[in-house]
Amino acid sequence: MKRYVAKRVVHAVFVMWLVATVVFFGLRAIPGGPIRAMLGPEATPSAVESLRTQLGLDQPLYIQYVDWFLGLLVGDLGQSITTGQEITTLLSAAFPRTFSIAIVGVIVGLGLALPTGIVSATRKHEPADYIATVAAFLGLSMPAFFIGILLALVFGVQLGLLPIFGYTPIREGFVPWLRSIILPGVAVGLPYAAIVMRMMRSSLLETMNEPYMTTARAKGVGSRVRLYKHAMQNALIPVVTVAGIQVALILVGSVTVEIVFGIQGIGRMLVDSIIDRNYPVTQAVILLVAAIMVFTNLAVDVLYTFIDPRIRYGGDV
C-alpha cells in the first residue's frame, strides 16, 4: 500500500506540473490580455507599454514561465494583476466559503442518497422506488442555481428563516456560519444526492442479483445480513468512485450558486479572473482545483481497501 501511495503521489506531482504548464501557456495563447482589460481600448501605446513593463509581461514567455514556476515551488503564487493583493491571501479568504458549501452539500447529499438508494433497490417497483426515482430525476434535471433560487424564495423571502445573501465566517459563531451556508449547501447537495442515489440503486440491484447472493439466500442467511454484510460491501465501490469525483466537481461547480447567494468563493473568483484576464489568479485557482481532483481520486482509491479488504495495491496479497 505504501509503495502504491508513493507512486500515486509522484504521478500526482507530474500531473500538477503538466496542468501548470498547459494553463500558463494556454492562457497566453488566448487573444487579448490583461493590459487592454485594465486600461480599456482607448489606452495610448505608451500607457500600454508602461503597464506591460510594470507587470513583467514584456519579458520573453519562457522567462515569465521560469520565474512563475520557481515561485510556485516555494509556495509563492504571485500577486493579482488587477488589485496587487497576494494570491494566497485571496485564496485563503475564498476557499473556506466554497469548502463550507461543499461540506454541507456532501453531508446533505450522502444523507439523502444512501438510504434512499437502498430503499429504492430493496423495494424495486414499489411506491417507495417510484417516488425515489422521480425525486432523483427532478434533482438531475434542475440545475443547482435554480434550486438555490427556489430555496431563497421559500426559506429566505417568504418564511424569513434563513439569510439569502453573504457569508458569515465560522469564527463569528457556528450557528451564524451554518445559517449562511445551509441554503447554498442544500442547493448543490440535492443534484449531488440524485447522482449518488441513482448509482447506489443500480449498483445495489446488480450486486443483489449476483450468484453468491442467491447462494446466501438459499443457505438461509437473513435479509439484513445479506444486504449490509454481503451486498453493500461490493455495491459501494462504484458509488464511492462517483461520490468522490462529484465532491471535487462541487467545489468548482458551485459558481452559479455562489452568485445567487452573493458568496465570493473560488468559483466566483475563477470567473472574475478569466473575465479580467488576470493570469496569476486564474492559474492559481485552476491549480488548486486540479490538486483537489487529483488527491480526491487518490483518497477514493485508498478508501476502497477499507470498504473491501480483498482489494490490495502494490502486489500485496
The CATH number assigned to the domain holding 253 equals 1.10.3720.10
**Three-state secondary-structure class, residue 134:** helix
Is residue 271 included in any domain, yes or no?
Answer: yes
The number of CA neighbours under 13 Å toward the Cβ of 194 is 19
Domain count, the chain: 2
Is residue 186 included in any domain, yes or no?
Answer: yes
Q: Is the model more confident about 277 or about 4?
A: 277
> pTM, whole model, 2 decimals?
0.78
Q: How many whole angstroms separate alpha carbon 148 and alpha carbon 227?
A: 35
Out of 38, 73, 108, pick the residue that ends a domain. 73
171 and 285: one domain?
Answer: yes
112 and 204: one domain?
Answer: yes
- Amino acid present at 231: A
Burial of residue 156 (CB within 10 Å: 0-12, 13-18, 19+) is: middle
214 and 260: one domain?
Answer: yes
pLDDT score of 183: 92
174 and 256: one domain?
Answer: yes
Out of 19, 40, 73, pick the residue that ends a domain. 73
Out of 73, 105, 124, pick the residue that ends a domain. 73
Element (H, E) at 299: helix 279-307
Mean pLDDT of 156-167: 88
pLDDT digits (tens, 9 = 90+) for 58-95: 788 888 888 888 888 888 888 888 888 889 889 888 88
Question: Is there a contact between 82 and 94 (Cβ–Cβ < 8 Å)?
Answer: no
Is residue 314 included in any domain, yes or no?
Answer: no
Residue 225, C-beta contacts closer than 8 angstroms, at least 6 positions apart = 216
Mean pLDDT of 176-197: 90
7 and 93: one domain?
Answer: no
Q: Is the model more confident about 305 or about 278?
A: 278
Percent of the chain surpassing pLDDT 90? 7
Cell 432523483, located at residue: 136
Mean pLDDT of 152-163: 89
97 and 38: one domain?
Answer: no
Is residue 78 included in any domain, yes or no?
Answer: no
pLDDT score of 10: 84
pLDDT digits (tens, 9 = 90+) for 104-139: 988 988 898 888 888 888 888 888 888 888 888 888
Average pLDDT, the chain: 82
Q: How many whole angstroms separate alpha carbon 207 and alpha carbon 231?
A: 6
Residue 164, C-beta contacts closer than 8 angstroms, at least 6 positions apart = 152, 155, 156, 157, 183, 261
Instruction: Determine the distance from the C-alpha atom of residue 118 to the mean position of all C-alpha atoms in its chain, rounded to a whole number.
Output: 25
- Residues of the domain holding 100: 89-307
Confidence of residue 317 (pLDDT cuts 50, 70, 90): very low
